[in-house]
Amino acid sequence: MCMPSEQVVPERVGAILSRLIACLPAERPVALHEPEITSGDRKAVDACLASGWISSAGPQIARLEEALCEVTGLPHALATVNGTSALHLALLGGGIGPDDEVLAPALTFVGTVNPIRFQGAWPHFVDCEDSTLGVDPDRLSTYLDQIADLRPEGCFNRLTGRRIVALIVVHVLGIPARMPQLQAIARRWKLLLIEDAAEALGSRLDGRHVGHWGDLTILSFNGNKIISAGGGGALLCQDEALAQRARHLGTTAKQPHAWAFEHDQVGYNYRMPNLNAALGLSQLARLSEYLDAKVRLHRHYNAAVADLPDVRLHQPPADRQSNHWLTLLRVPPELRDPLLAAAHAEQLQLRPFWTPMHRLPMYRDCPRDALPVTEALFESGLCLPSSPRLAP
């Protein structure tokens, strides 16, 4: 295959960059994704400060949890200090322990995988699909047939001898994965199914908010998410007993009592502060506005690059509603790094995908399937500035 000349690459990069610059405001820098803080947000935080309820107790926490149940349609929600702690609680609540294996995508942020190791368990990396960017159910089904045994006591990896106990599915960049198929696989192999929806608040599949297929679901309200609480996350589920167990473990496993500090097991201080909940609740009221803005921004970018050769905006499948958390540009691999460098010289914060998990030093020796789609997406994908305020 002929490689492009040294002159052709800068020309192609320049053509792409000029289209992106035309889409964006003149003020620099343009962040990848930043929160919009309104006067209403400030009033909500000021009122919380005035109340004195600023730590891990207070009325705004319960109100945020109720509002999340309304938005998602899920009956139980627990507000946490961040998405990673919510995922750790999901693993704790699901009984994942030392030397268990948890299937997880290699194409994700490291916060999806670290909680597995918190438990002494092993991430077992599987590939994604090009269309949804999520775990590929067809490939996963074939792979499990090749390496796993189903016994009365659960699913076991024939190669390592370890028990495979759970599957984490990430809704990458807000695009819902093929959850009905993945749910069927989880049931067949007796796996706990966790939806990592940290990027997918507001995304829907088959008319339902993401989270309705997994046993447990997590959200994130970090500063770069579609709504922000300054930090924070949430754990959601449909099973009341599972929700109560997670809440207990996330509140230092403290036994209810008017004054005594009695704890019945090792617990974690994972409760969201009331101050963060006040900001998150105020922002959540504008979720529909942000979703509309992100659709407009995605269309704006698409029109700008539609006629460029070998360049395309990644389109979510038509049968699902993405929140368009980050807009993904697909470029030839030889253009990715030059375009990143040129954009950053213009103070435009384009970003590549996260380095795939199996390439990180602490996870190189973990079990994994072949990961061709993960590798291809990492080499060709660039996330564009996607703050709602950038929408035309």
> Residue 2 pLDDT > 50, yes or no?
no
Strand, helix or coil at 184?
Answer: helix
What separation, in Å, do the N-terminal and C-terminal C-alpha atoms of the chain show?
Answer: 40
Q: Is residue 51 scored above 70 in pLDDT?
A: yes
Res 4: pLDDT: 52
* Tens-place pLDDT, residues 353-373: 999 999 999 999 999 999 999
HSE-up of 209 (CA within 13 Å, CB side)?
20
Burial class (CB in 10 A: 0-12, 13-18, 19+), 314: buried
The DSSP element (H or E) to which 209 belongs, if any, is strand 208-209
- Closest among 37, 31, 32 to 229, alpha carbons compared: 37
Q: What is the pLDDT of residues 135-159, one digit of tens each?
A: 999 999 999 999 999 999 999 999 9
Predicted TM-score of the model (pTM): 0.96
Tens of pLDDT, residues 98-107: 999 999 999 9
Q: Where are the domains of the chain?
A: 8-34+286-390, 39-284
β-pair partners for 195:
169, 217
CATH homologous superfamily of 8-34+286-390: Aspartate Aminotransferase, domain 1 (3.90.1150.10)
Any idea which fold 39-284 has?
Answer: Aspartate Aminotransferase; domain 2 (3.40.640)
Pairing of strands 122-126, 154-157: unpaired
Task: Please give the C-alpha separations between residue 246 and each of 79, 92, 104, 241, 323, in angstroms, as whole numbers.
Answer: 11, 7, 21, 9, 27
Position 23 pLDDT exceeds 70? yes
Residue range 321-334, pLDDT digits in tens: 999 999 999 999 99
Q: Mind listing the pLDDT tens digit for each residue in 195-239?
A: 999 999 999 999 999 999 999 999 999 999 999 999 999 999 999
- Write the CA distances from 39 to 46, 281, 293, 295, 297, integer angstroms: 10, 14, 19, 25, 24
Whether the Cβ atoms of residue 273 and residue 55 lie closer than 8 Å to each other:
yes
Mean pLDDT of the chain: 96
